[in-house]
Chains A and B, each alone.
Chain A
C-alpha cells in the first residue's frame, strides 16, 4: 500500500471517464463513510501493521516467486516465473482483500458481512475471515455457480456462512452482485459489503486494489532479488480484475514492463459467447461504476460465457478500463480450450494444479513464449489453485467422481 504512482488515488473515485459512484441514494452515505474510514485507516500505521501481520501469520505471505523451469523448456522461449498466490490460505489471492476489508468492518463496528461470489473463492475467503473475527456472514452466489462449484459451497457452509443461491437474471456472478447490493440497501446500518473485485462504486476499486497490491510489491522485490532486474512482461487473468491490478499496480510507473491482462474468450470472441468486455465490449454503467461492459444496443447486459466461473462476469474494474484507454496495459483473450490445455500442461510439467481462471494467463504465455524469446522474463500471476475445478474438468473428460 506504499508507492506513489502518478495516479495513485483516483480523482473523486474516477479513473479517466471510468469508475465513479452510480448507486441508489440509500447507499451513498455508507459509501461516503466507508471512503472516509478507509482514507484514515490506510494512513494509520497501526492499521497497516495489523494488516501486514495478518497477511504474514494468517495468510502465509509472502508467497513465492517460482521459476517454472520445465514449463519454460516446454514452451521453448521466455523464462516463466509464477507468482504463487495459490499457496495463500484458502487457495487464492482473494483473501488479501477480505483480510483488509474485515479489519475495516471491525473498525466500523459492523457485526455482519455479506459478499458475492462466482467461483466461490471470494466467498470462501470471506467466510474464512468472518469465522476468524466472529462476524455473521452471508454469501450470495448465482444458482448455476452453486451447481458448478459445489465443493466451495460446502466449504463456505463448514465455515459457518449462509450461502444464498440467486435465481434471478442469468443466475451467475452479476446476479449475485445485484442481490448483495439489495441486501446491503436493506441492512446498511449493521452490514459491511465485502466486494471481491476491483469493481463497484468508489471506494471499492481503489480500496481492493490497495489490498491486492501486496502481490505486485512482493513480485517486484522478488524479481530484483532473484533475477537482479525487473521482469519484461506481467501476465494475469482478468474477470473483475483484482489479481491483475494487484500484480500490475506497483509496476505502473515502470514503463518498460509490459502489462498483459487476459480475458475469458469462451468459445471464441467471434461467437459472442465469451466474457471479454475489454476486448469486445462498450462503455456503460453497471454495479455502481462506469466501465467496459458486455451489452446490447438497448443497454441490456448480455449473458457471458466462460468455462471459469470466476471470469464469467460482463464488466471489469474501472482502472483496467482506464489502463486500456491510455494504452498502459494491453488486454487479450484466450478461449476455454486454450485455458484447458494450459491447465493440463502445468499439472504435467510442474506438478501444480492451477485454477481455471489462472489457466487463462498461462494460456496466453503458452501462445506467446516462443515469440518473446529466452531473453524475456515473464511473471504470471497464478492467482488460485484448481482443486475447486476438478469436478468441472472431470466432467469434460467424461469421468464421474
Chain B
C-alpha cells in the first residue's frame, strides 16, 4: 500500500480528520524548506503539499504568487524541489508528500524523467492545477509507471456529469475547491460548500479533502464536518512571508499554527 493511501486510510479508520498543509518550495530560501516540512509534521499535519514555484501561477492569490516569486528568486527549480523531498525523506519516511504546481514545469523536464525522479525522491502524489483529465492521458501513463497517483480537483462549478468523469481518473484523494476563486479567498457560503461536499462524497469512495479559504481552526472545523480532511495553504505561506526577516523563527511559528488547527480538528464536536 502506498504511503499516501495508507495514511489517509489510517485517518479514516481512526476517526481523524486529515490535515493537509501547503507551503511553496524554496520560500524564502532553499535551506528553509526541509525544517519547515518537519515543523508542519510536528504540529500535526498528516499530508504535506509542496508547491513547485512557477512564473505564471494563474490560479493563485497574491499570497502564493509572492511565495512563488520568492522561491524562484531563491533559485528553486523542479529538480531542486525533488532534492528537497529527498532530503526530507532521509529523516521522515512516514509522512506523504504531494507536489503541486503547473504543467509547464513537468513538460520542460519530460514526463517520464519527472515520474522516475519523483518516485526516487519519495514523492507520493501530484496535483497539476492547470491539467484537467481531458488533457492528462500522457502524464497519467508516465506517473502510473512510477506508481504516483495524479490527484484531481473538483470545483463549485463542476457539473454532476463532469464530476463522474473526473472521478474515473481520480487517484489518491479528491481535492474539493471550496469556493469560486483563487487561493487565499474567503469562503462566502459555508452551507453551499457543505452541500457540495456531501454530494461529492456520495459519488466516490476516495477520501475528499476540502481546500481554498481554510485559514485557522474554526474554518478547518467548519469544512471538515463534511470532508475527510482539509487543506491549509495561504495562511501558512503568509506566516512564512511575515517571518522572512527572521527565517530561524519559521519552523516554530508554523508548528504552533498547525497545532492550533490540529487541536481544533481533534476536539470532540459539541
Which residue of A12, A30, A295, A298 has the most chain B CB atoms within 10 A of its CB atom?
Answer: A298
A286 partner residues in chain B, CB cutoff 8 A = 56, 104
Query: A339 CA to B79 CA in the complex, in Å?
Result: 40
Q: Kindly identify, within residues 292 to 311 of chain A, every residue whose CB is under 8 Å from any CB belonging to chain B.
A: 293, 295-302
Query: A168 CA to B56 CA in the complex, in Å?
Result: 9
A298 partner residues in chain B, CB cutoff 8 A = 77-79, 105, 108
Q: Kindly identify, within residues 61 to 87 of chain B, every residue whose CB is under 8 Å from any CB belonging to chain A.
A: 61-62, 65, 69, 72, 77-79
Could you say which interface size class chain A belongs to? 35 or more
B134 contacts the other chain (CB 8 A): yes
A23 contacts the other chain (CB 8 A): yes
CB distance from B63 to the nearest CB of A (A): 12
Q: Kindly identify, within residues 1 to 34 of chain A, every residue whose CB is under 8 Å from any CB belonging to chain B.
A: 12, 20-30
Q: Is the CB of A24 within 8 A of B134?
A: no
Q: Is the CB of A169 within 8 A of B56?
A: yes
Q: Is the CB of A25 within 8 A of B132?
A: yes
Q: Is the CB of B132 within 8 A of A287?
A: no
B95 contacts the other chain (CB 8 A): no
CB distance from A351 to the nearest CB of B (A): 42
* Contact segment of A71-79, A183-191, A210-218: A183-191
B134 partner residues in chain A, CB cutoff 8 A = 12, 20-21
Q: Mark B118-156, 1 if CB is under 8 A from A, else 0.
A: 000000000001111011000000000000000011111
Q: Kindly identify, within residues 73 to 90 of chain A, every residue whose CB is under 8 Å from any CB belonging to chain B.
A: none
Chain A at the B interface: SS class: mixed
Q: Is the CB of B104 within 8 A of A181?
A: no
Q: Is the CB of A188 within 8 A of B180?
A: yes
Q: Is the CB of B152 within 8 A of A25?
A: yes
B79 partner residues in chain A, CB cutoff 8 A = 298
Q: Name B54's contact: one of A181, A300, A302 (CB within 8 Å).
A: A300
CB within 8 Å for A189 and B180 given contacts A300-B54, A301-B55: yes
Query: A169 CA to B55 CA in the complex, in Å?
Result: 7
B78 partner residues in chain A, CB cutoff 8 A = 298-299
Query: A285 CA to B128 CA in the complex, in Å?
Result: 12
Q: Is the CB of A285 within 8 A of B104?
A: yes
B182 contacts the other chain (CB 8 A): yes
CB distance from A147 to the nearest CB of B (A): 21
Q: Mark B163-186, 1 if CB is under 8 A from A, else 0.
A: 000100000000001001110010
Q: Is the CB of B132 within 8 A of A28?
A: yes
B155 partner residues in chain A, CB cutoff 8 A = 24-26, 28-29
Q: Is the CB of B130 within 8 A of A28?
A: no
How many Cβ-Cβ contacts under 8 Å join chain A to chain B?
119
| CB-CB nearest in chain A for B181 | A186
CB within 8 Å for A300 and B162 given contacts A24-B155, A26-B177, A188-B180: no
B157 contacts the other chain (CB 8 A): yes
Q: Is the CB of A284 within 8 A of B104?
A: yes
Query: A172 CA to B238 CA in the complex, in Å?
Result: 26
B203 contacts the other chain (CB 8 A): no
A178 partner residues in chain B, CB cutoff 8 A = 56-58
CB distance from B129 to the nearest CB of A (A): 6
Q: Is the CB of B104 within 8 A of A28?
A: no
B158 contacts the other chain (CB 8 A): yes
A367 partner residues in chain B, CB cutoff 8 A = none
A301 partner residues in chain B, CB cutoff 8 A = 55-56, 104
Q: Is the CB of B108 within 8 A of A299?
A: yes
Query: A163 CA to B57 CA in the complex, in Å?
Result: 22
Query: A301 CA to B108 CA in the complex, in Å?
Result: 11
A368 contacts the other chain (CB 8 A): no
| CB-CB nearest in chain B for A23 | B130
Query: A284 CA to B78 CA in the complex, in Å?
Result: 15
Which residue of A23, A26, A296 has the most chain B CB atoms within 10 A of its CB atom?
Answer: A26
Q: Is the CB of B59 within 8 A of A182?
A: yes
| CB-CB nearest in chain B for A182 | B182
B218 partner residues in chain A, CB cutoff 8 A = none
Q: Name B104's contact: one of A23, A27, A188, A295 (CB within 8 Å).
A: A295
Q: Kindly identify, within residues 30 to 63 of chain B, every residue whose CB is under 8 Å from any CB belonging to chain A.
A: 54-62
* Chain B contacts to A: CB under 8 angstroms: 54-62, 65, 69, 72, 77-79, 102-109, 129-132, 134-135, 152-159, 162, 166, 177, 180-182, 185
Q: Across chains A and B, which 3 residue pairs bring their CB atoms closest together, nearest first?
A: A299-B108, A186-B181, A26-B155
* 6 residue pairs bridging A and B, Cβ less than 8 Å apart: A28-B162, A188-B157, A286-B104, A299-B105, A299-B106, A300-B72
* Chain A contacts to B: CB under 8 angstroms: 12, 20-30, 168-169, 174-175, 178, 181-182, 185-189, 282-288, 293, 295-302
